[in-house]
Amino acid sequence: MADSLADREGNAGYKAPRAALSLGDFELVKRLGDGSYSQVVQARHKGSRKSYALKIVDKHLIQRHKMVAYIRNERHILDRLDHPGVVNLCFTFQDATSLYLGQELCPNGELYDQIQRRGRLQLEDTQFYTAEIVEILDYLQQCQVVHRDLKPENLMLDVNGHIKLIDFGSAKSLGDGEASEASPEGEARRSNSSESRRATSLVGTADYVAPETLSNQAITPAYDLWSLGCVVYQMLVGRPPFKDASEYLTFQRIAAADYTLPDDLPPVALDLIKQLLVLEPEKRLGVGLRGLDELREHAFFDSVHWEHIWETAAPAIAPPRNTSRELDEKGLDWEMQSLAAALPVVYHYEPTEEGAVEVQNSYLAGAEEAGSTSLI
């Protein structure tokens, strides 16, 4: 697979190459998740037999809804990140209908799944996962990146049960103005000059949105600390703190910091949550002169060995209630295999003496061969 993973234009600036691959190079094992404009499947490369989480993005939908900038943003931010707590982008490719982002596979699913299966997490497990998230946020701050969509669904668990942060489509790079025009970031900025202005709009998931966004204040790393408070709350209580019947009501509660703390929460957890879910961004724990070191020194983390966190044994994984493994290695999901076997089809109309006739052309090669615009 080495040759197929070379960048198709020989641009050494990409850590994750724009590879000369097609969907036909993979066996699609099972569906891992769905989004508004994409789906994620477990895909096994036929040559190397290596498995990936393959994000398949519908080109038509992202162009129609003006979301191209967000996909490019995710691709270029992930390309420059390198941390044990951030999912690794391995390659990208495209065809006439879809964009494909090949990412490392996290076989233990989402942190959200663990909360759902257990109802709520034990204090020790919550301390471990929170410590890893803090380390990830520290790295993102060093890279001048604000994630803006920190939630249990975007916190995956790798083969050893450690946290991997995914989905950087909503992320904001605070250092965009310094990107070289010859770099991937500079290329994305040039091609997205109009769409990139949308980065100041409301993004993320309603339950975890920071209150400063609702009042159109500047985005800072304090945004992710608010979301961290929401995630800690959800791990210990089993639900987001501001969840309500509609997004509007949820936003009203966020704007007023209107949430309830159960009496049975440990005092150190109560105090940590209170110091993170603060309306004023500059007053949140971890925003002071000493940054996240202030957060690390909170009593909630007294049992954490920060220097060895990524080598420490992770909490046990709660298995699915249905332990059936038919879709694992015994056989490939037939629906996924149908997707892999079917060539993307492009329809056009050709005039004849009798009138316009619909003609279909199938494409499985790259976007250039399909005659469509290269988007990543």
Which residues line the annotated binding site for ATP? 55
Question: Comparing C-alpha atoms, which of 172, 174, 130, 173 is closest to residue 155?
Answer: 130
Helix, strand, coil % over all residues of the chain, rounded to 5 = 40, 20, 45
Q: Are 17 and 7 in contact (CB under 8 A)?
A: yes
Question: Comparing C-alpha atoms, which of 137, 86, 125, 107 is closest to residue 235?
Answer: 125
| The one catalytic residue among 149, 167, 207, 224 | 149
Q: Which amino acid is at 107?
A: P
DSSP assignment of 322-344, as one string?
S---IIIII---HHHHHHHHSPP
Maximum distance among all alpha carbons in the chain? 81
Q: How many Cβ atoms from other residues are within 10 Å of residue 208's Cβ?
A: 27
Print the SS3 string covering 303-317. CCCHHHCCCCCCCCC
Is 7 marked active-site? no
Q: How many Cβ atoms from other residues are within 10 Å of residue 93's Cβ?
A: 24
Residue numbers annotated as active site: 149
